[in-house]
Amino acid sequence: MKSDDKKRLLREMLFARRFEERCYEAYVERKIGGFLHLYAGQEACAFGVLDAARIGHDYVITSYRDHVHAIKCGSEPRAVMAELYARETGVSKGRGGSMHIFDVANRFMGGYALVGGPFPLAAGIGKAIQMKGGDEISICFLGDAANNQGTFHESLNMAKLWNLPVLYVCENNLYGIGTRIDRSTAVVDQYKRVSGYNIPSAQEDGQDVEKVYKAARKAIDHVRSGKGPYFLELLTYRYRGHSMSDSNAYRAKAEERMWSKRDPLIILRDRLIEDGKFTKEEFKAIDSDILDEIEDEVIAFAEQSPDPVVADLRKYVLAEDDPYVNGGAH
């Protein structure tokens, strides 16, 4: 990976971190309501994988921890923030909120609140691509705890049976809400669980964006070449609780300190500094610019945007031009 690409990724990941931290503040200020699941600590997963994909061409789907994936796919940060504020200018018109970001123009096919919900949808997208003869792929991000859902096994079985162009990316942050993986899952190494479906798989360090990118390139090349699905497990860690209602009391402080030393931003920053391509002063300057951008453009846009109109309550519920809606098709 070239130095310029590393610097770009560092800025993108830093922006994502500051965006999520500002979401936290807005939630505490009661400007964001409902559920809120933050992504701090896991940035290398989304950015490493999606940088290896064809953004805007490939289809991406994930769970409720979805803000950063949407932004990387091309959604405007201010539109994502406006969605969290439940404003009409939000990426989902203020109807979805944090867990239901959706941007069809950028082929981000949604965050989903239902645990295990994206598995069959990703397979369905893959089947549609296959039937149309396209060269796109379906990329499904998932958490480790979701793999205990029945939809996981049903979808992977079908994906392999039909050799669908689907890349399943498991962001293994070691916890399903407050339950550590070794207390809920018989096979802790998630990449081993797909061997029963004869799906090739790999496990990689999810805190190192360069390693993620390299592993993702291999996985994406496999899927795009028509060889069928691939499963990539990324070992990572979330720096905040499962959601805003989670105090994090179940995690040992020593464990949290250990993972804080493996911050994906710091790993990449220090590597650039060691290579003589970057300085801490440059990092601070970029950080300052990002904080200003988020406050002056992202937050300002969200706070100045209008609320959805009550009269439009049923708008976007049904496809207005769909013949099935009007009784014209059977």
- Reported as a single tens digit per residue, the pLDDT across 284-320 is 999 999 999 999 999 999 999 999 999 988 888 877 7
CATH of the domain at 11: 3.40.50.970
Residue 175 lies in a domain: yes
- For residue 119, the model assigns a pLDDT of 95
Q: In 3-state terms, what secondary structure has residue 322?
A: coil
**Mean pLDDT across 165-194:** 92
pLDDT higher than threshold 90 for residue 182: no
Query: Looking at the domain assignment, is residue 57 inside a domain?
Result: yes
Give the domain range for residue 144: 3-312
Least confident of 149-153, 182-186, 263-267: 182-186
Q: What is the DSSP letter of 149?
A: S
How high is the pLDDT of residue 323?
63
Average pLDDT of the residues in 163-185: 93
Answer whether residue 109 shows pLDDT above 50: yes
Give domain status of residue 146, yes or no: yes
- Give the model's pLDDT for residue 320: 72
At residue 97, the pLDDT reads 93
In the chain, the number of structural domains is: 1
Residue 32 has pLDDT above 90, yes or no: yes
Residue-level pLDDT at 327: 56
What sections of the chain are H helices per DSSP? Answer: 3-28, 43-52, 67-73, 77-84, 118-132, 150-161, 209-222, 253-260, 264-274, 280-293, 300-304
What's the mean pLDDT when you consider all of the chain? 94
Return the percentage of the chain with pLDDT > 90, whole number: 82
How much is the pLDDT for 180? 87
Is the per-residue pLDDT at 226 higher than 60?
yes
**Residue 317 burial (10 A CB sphere; 0-12, 13-18, 19+):** exposed
pLDDT of residue 316: 82
The whole-number pLDDT of residue 258 equals 92
In this prediction, residue 321 carries a pLDDT of 67
* Domain-embedded: residue 323: no
The whole-number pLDDT of residue 330 equals 46
Residue 153, in any domain of the structure: yes
The model's pLDDT over 46-59, given as tens digits with 9 standing for 90+, comes to: 999 999 999 999 99
CB 46 within 8 A of CB 69: yes
Q: Minimum mean pLDDT among 71-75, 78-82, 131-135, 175-179: which range?
A: 175-179
- Percent of the chain scoring above 70 in pLDDT: 97
CB 171 within 8 A of CB 163: no
Report yes or no on 324 lying in a domain: no
Q: Say if 168 falls within a structural domain.
A: yes
**Selection from 77, 45, 78 nearest residue 62 by Cα:** 45
Domain annotation covers residue 127: yes
